[in-house]
Amino acid sequence: MPELRWLIDASYFLAAVLFILGLKKMSSPVTARKGIVWAGMGMALATLVTFLTPGASTPFMPLDNLILIVLAIAIGGSIAWVSGKKVAMTDMPQMVAIYNGMGGGAAAGIAAVEFTRGHMDGLMLFTLATLGALIGSVSFSGSCVAFAKLQGLMHKAFRLPAQNAVNALLALATLGLGIAIVWLGASGSMIPGWLLIGFFLYALALGIIVTLPIGGADMPVVISLFNAFTGLAVGFEGYVMGNPALIIAGIVVGAAGTLLTQLMAKAMNRPILNILFQPISGEAQAGGSIEGTMKEVSALDAAAMMHYAGKVIIIPGYGMAVAGAQHKIWEMTEWLENAGVSVRFAIHPVAGRMPGHMNVLLAEAGVPYDKIFDLEEINSDFAKADVALVIGANDVVNPVARTDKTSPIYGMPILNADHASHVIVVKRGQGAGYSGIENALFYRDNCRMLYGSAQKVIADVIQNLKTLE
């Protein structure tokens, strides 16, 4: 029916416009909520239009497909609604990782169905379907590993003997099976079931093996990279199915994820290939010895240092997220500002466990957007700051990134917390942090350590601030 086809195409076009406009609005914290709503409306429209897809002999979808789709939406939607309501903001990175993995898995599933149905014709379609299946499977299994690490279900890093050789052999084997699938499919031959099963098992194993060694500051980049993979896989499968909405959504997600991955890799001064194949593991150590000792400070002294300061810069890290201390930090900020102290927040691009993690937590606590600054915007101000308050951050303030060529993080742009007159570091203990790299900042003469869970420590600081009024 030409009228129905026109309605479907027009609806897909409108959904694509909503995707793009929504993504544009997500680029600013002020309009991000509206952007999510717009993109959600586009997704809802694309889903509803799917029900109008003609069947073999009817103008609408066959009843059996309709029942399966409704059932899948009901199950998936219920799980997403409940988990989305219950998930803590500190657990948001692993939620993003697993949901992103589901997208890659869905793209791989679409390819598997198309292979078994035999509806494809031509070298191009089989090539794109195979690429989508490969990329989607790697994204799915890799994202599951990322989820397990962030959730604390798996050791931070596990590296196989001859890890890169194993990666290369597994990738070559998977590509070889993929080429066989393309060749058989394009020639009109039946694709054996063992070949398809072997291909998907190898692709899933590749995603797991590549992700296992990755930890520390590399994790946000990997999550972003898998997001780009998922978008690319969805775009390929959209072309195979002739679905404009999937093509456009996949391209938008893939392009955004690729750009974000490149920006974060640049922020770390680490090529993406190094992040994947030479990751900073939990056993990494900075080269050379660090002189000096860590010097502890009390909550009262920390409160006094900040109360009588002119300018304080707060650097949040994953320790703040784990403790859920963002609300207490904002309460402390208000007390300091009432005392006439200028307080701002400095965010490193890879702080936390996913892109924008710290920004989301601070926004949840009510911190105004104009008090939050990126590395490039605020780094020069540390030299004029009286106090730099570091809360649970490690690698992003480690001075060895500037000086120690043997360090795994050498060359990574860092926040210049050590340039402040005084540095206070809130930390649960004397450990080296998530990446395992000892932080030279903690041993500097101008640095003092305030030990304990960030929420309790900041609550103690607030109590002492009240006594100084």
Element (H, E) at 423: strand 422-427
DSSP at 190: P
* CB of 372 closer than 8 Å to CB of 399: no
Question: Per the structure block, which two tokens stand in for 168?
Answer: 């290369």
| Position 396, amino acid | V
Beta strand ranges found along 128-260 (DSSP E): none
Here the tokens at position 115 are 């292979």
Closest CA to 396 of 458, 452, 315, 450: 315
Percentage of residues in the chain having pLDDT higher than 70: 90
> What digits encode the pLDDT tens for the residues 101-139?
999 999 999 889 888 876 677 788 888 889 999 999 999
Contact status, residue 90 vs residue 322, Cβ threshold 8 Å: yes
- pLDDT value of residue 233: 93
**Residues 59-71: tens digit of each pLDDT:** 556 656 778 888 8
| Residue 156: alpha-carbon gap to chain centroid | 16
Distance CA 94, CA 148 (A): 8
Instruction: Give the SS3 label for residue 102.
Output: helix
Q: Which residues contact 146 (CB under 8 A, 6 or more apart)?
A: 94, 97, 101, 211, 214, 219, 222, 223, 226
pLDDT value of residue 336: 94
For the annotated catalytic residues, the residue numbers are: 395
Closest CA to 463 of 279, 335, 352, 373: 335
DSSP class of residue 154?
Answer: S
Q: What is the gyration radius of the CA atoms in the chain, in angstroms?
A: 25
Q: How far apart are CA 395 and CA 349, in angstroms?
A: 12
Report pLDDT for 430: 63
pLDDT at 287 over 50: no
**H or E segment at 449?**
strand 447-451
Closest by CA to 241, choosing from 391, 125, 364, is: 125
Report which residue type is found at 23.
L
Angle between helices 454-467 and 326-338 (to 10 degrees): 20
Q: What are phi and psi of 346, to 5 degrees?
A: -115, 125
Structural contact between residues 27 and 263, judged by C-beta atoms closer than 8 angstroms: no
* pLDDT tens string 131-168: 999 999 999 999 999 888 888 787 666 777 888 888 89
Q: What is the mean pLDDT of residues 430-448?
A: 77
Neighbours of 289 (CB within 10 A): 6
Residue 450 in contact with residue 425, Cβ under 8 Å?
A: yes
Q: Which of 76-90, 214-228, 430-444 has the lowest mean pLDDT?
A: 430-444
pLDDT of 282 higher than 50: no
Q: What tokens were used for 414? A: 């860092």
Distances (CA, A) of 355 to 7, 81, 296: 38, 23, 32
C-beta of residue 250 within 8 angstroms of C-beta of residue 238: yes
Model confidence at 286, pLDDT cuts 50, 70, 90, reads: very low
Task: Tell me what pLDDT residue 361 has.
Answer: 87
Q: Which domains are delineated in the chain?
A: 91-283 (no CATH), 299-467 (3.40.50.1220)
